Amino acid sequence: MKRRVLVTLLVSLVLASSFVFAQGSNESTTTTSSAKKQYQMVLIPKLESAWFEPYKNDGVAEGKKIGVDVYQQAPAGADEAQQVRIIEDSINQGVNAVLVVPNDANSCVPAFKKARQQGIVVMTHESPNQPEADFDIEMINNVKFGERMLEEMVRLGGDSGEYAIYVGSLTVPAHNIWADAAIALAKAKYPKLTLVTDRQPVSEDRNAARQKTLELLTVHPNLKGILAFGSQGAPGAGQALREKGLTDKVTVLGTTSPAEAAPFLKDGSIDECVLWSSGDAAHAMVYLSKMILDGKKDQIKQGLEIPDLGTPTIDGMNIEFDHPLIVDASNCDQYNF
């Protein structure tokens, strides 16, 4: 009899333990399921670089502020095929939004189309009128930005002489809009300025920019200015000028991050950086993506104010702020990107 009681008690304990375990499992499943309901967004810049550190940091910070899971996946270099693979992998993983700074606007289109077909929000930066994107975010007016770069070159180096323009590639829309604006203003306002060659697609590769600058200095020994639209163009040009001992002879302006440009700014091989913070763009992209996912896309229109950024100009899919930043040797240490 005692043995039967003991067996009964043991069976009861096992059943009770199983029930508690099952309850715990159910709670865990419920918790996991609940966590999965949080929006997940991936930041995909052109490449892993100092320029895009604020893009990651401010995007993640904005996500935490508004209750969104944000992380970054970046190509090691400015490789359009690798970037497209990252976009496609993110789609397959079921993210809610892809926030992309395209290396090539056209190569991203099939992946963006696939994302939108699956209800995934697509936001871009530096890619106005991007096909298959919900919105493109710009922190500067593209025409004014290109014109400002040229005006700064003229202010620092004079309104006559030979100059060259570098872009990241011939298919990066923003870079080429800036180049178009600078060239148009030069033709209209500064007839003594001469563009020595077609724009060169070397500005996202420091060594390529260095090599191109050395080549131009050989072919055009009177070169007086270089406008480098892209993060690595100005440092590459600056390196070439250092090697040739011409840091005081050629005016170089670029869109390089202050931290990366600082040594060049301080020795005069780069004269100025004219740029904006990529972090502000990521902040806006995360905020607006959540609005779309929350069913508020119709509220993204002229007059919308984004906290801490202000009120942009909204023209169709293009959302534009006007936040240019001028950095030189005197203030470069104020910035940590």
Are residues 148 and 128 part of one domain? Answer: no
Are residues 250 and 219 part of one domain? Answer: yes
Structural domain that includes position 188: 142-275
237, 210 contact by CB (below 8 A): yes
Are residues 242 and 168 part of one domain? Answer: yes
Are residues 234 and 191 part of one domain? Answer: yes
Residue 18 counted as domain residue: no
Are residues 284 and 258 part of one domain? Answer: no
Are residues 203 and 169 part of one domain? Answer: yes
97: number of Cβ within 10 Å: 26
Residue 80 counted as domain residue: yes
- In Å, the largest CA–CA distance within the chain is 112
For residue 5, what pLDDT is reported?
38
Report the number of distinct structural domains present in the chain.
2
Are residues 246 and 235 part of one domain? Answer: yes
Q: Which tokens hold the place of 55?
A: 């893009």
281, 264 contact by CB (below 8 A): no
Q: Which tokens hold the place of 261?
A: 């440009």
Of all helices (H) and strands (E), which one includes residue 160?
none
Residue 284 counted as domain residue: yes
For residue 10, what pLDDT is reported?
38
Are residues 263 and 114 part of one domain? Answer: no
For residue 83, what pLDDT is reported?
98
For residue 204, what pLDDT is reported?
94
For residue 50, what pLDDT is reported?
81
CATH code at 89?
3.40.50.2300
d(CA 119, CA 305): 25
pLDDT in tens, 24-68: 444 333 333 333 469 999 999 999 988 899 999 999 999 999 999
Residue 337 counted as domain residue: no
Residues of the chain with pLDDT under 50: 1-36
Are residues 270 and 156 part of one domain? Answer: yes
Residue 8 counted as domain residue: no
Surface-to-core class of residue 229, CB atoms within 10 Å of its CB (0-12 exposed, 13-18 middle, 19+ buried): buried
Phi, psi of 165 (to 5 degrees): -125, 130
pLDDT in tens, 80-122: 999 999 999 999 999 999 999 999 999 999 999 999 999 999 9
Are residues 107 and 230 part of one domain? Answer: no
Are residues 252 and 151 part of one domain? Answer: yes
d(CA 112, CA 126): 15
For residue 323, what pLDDT is reported?
85
